[in-house]
Amino acid sequence: MIPTMSSMDRRVQKSQESIKKAFIELMSEKSFDHITIQDISDRANVGRRTIYDHYMDKFDLLDKLIDEHINELKKLCVSAADMDFTEGNLMWFEYFERNSSFFSTMLASKGAPTFRSHFLKFVIEELAGEVDVTEGKNQGLSKDILLKFFGAAIVEIVTAWITNGLSEPTQVVAEQVGILLDRNL
């Protein structure tokens, strides 16, 4: 049985919370590549042995954090169900803006491929509910091709925007991506 937060041994909760919090702090201070398990251990005030009890390595820890962010984005999607693309996009872009120190240092490190992979998978899942190939402008087109095409486009726009230090205003990027998606999907 998978423990819920309320049934999990509190020592496990505390250790994982400390490790994640420390990792996030460190990622806003230096590149993922330069963070050591020893750094995390010191900052979280838990033993190195304990970190290995919970995570295989720091890539696994990054995986888990990315998954948490993806889950947060999913929640935003649920609450944005009644909105059009631009409105829904703005919520996403604002989320990335709030968490930009995490994402920008991660994208400038060996963690970038992991994030891109997770994010692409997620974006495709979300778009799958928006794309209709049985009628309209996309009738007869491969749904799979459509999803990969626009999924990759979205991932690239988001990661480039973050990597370039949020150089475009959040509203502008959200609007333009919204226009492109409205036109095609």
Interface with a second copy, residue 10, by CB under 8 A? yes
Interface with DNA, residue 54, by CB under 7 A? yes
Q: Residues 7, 43, 94, 154: is their CA dihedral positive or negative?
A: negative
Exactly one of 2, 5, 9, 183 binds DNA (CB under 7 A); that residue is 9
C-alpha angle with apex 83: 135 to 69, nearest 5 degrees?
105
How many chain residues bind a second copy (CB under 8 A)?
Answer: 5
Whether 100 contacts 116, CB under 8 Å: no
**From DNA, a second copy, none, which one binds at residue 69 (CB under 5 to 8 Å depending on kind)?**
none
Interface with DNA, residue 36, by CB under 7 A? yes
Exactly one of 46, 90, 106, 107 binds a second copy (CB under 8 A); that residue is 46
Rounded Cα distance, 15 and 122, in Å: 28
CB of 31 to DNA, least distance (A): 10
Helices (H) and strands (E) in the chain — how many of each?
9, 0
Exactly one of 3, 47, 113, 169 binds a second copy (CB under 8 A); that residue is 47
**From a second copy, DNA, none, which one binds at residue 155 (CB under 5 to 8 Å depending on kind)?**
none
Question: What string marks each residue from 99 to 118 as x (binds DNA by CB under 7 A) or -?
Answer: --------------------
The beta strand positions in the chain, using DSSP E, are: none
Pair of tokens at residue 100: 């930009």
Rounded Cα distance, 160 and 28, in Å: 18
CB of 111 to DNA, least distance (A): 14
Rounded Cα distance, 140 and 153, in Å: 21
Catalog residues that contact a second copy under the rule CB under 8 A: 10, 14, 45-47
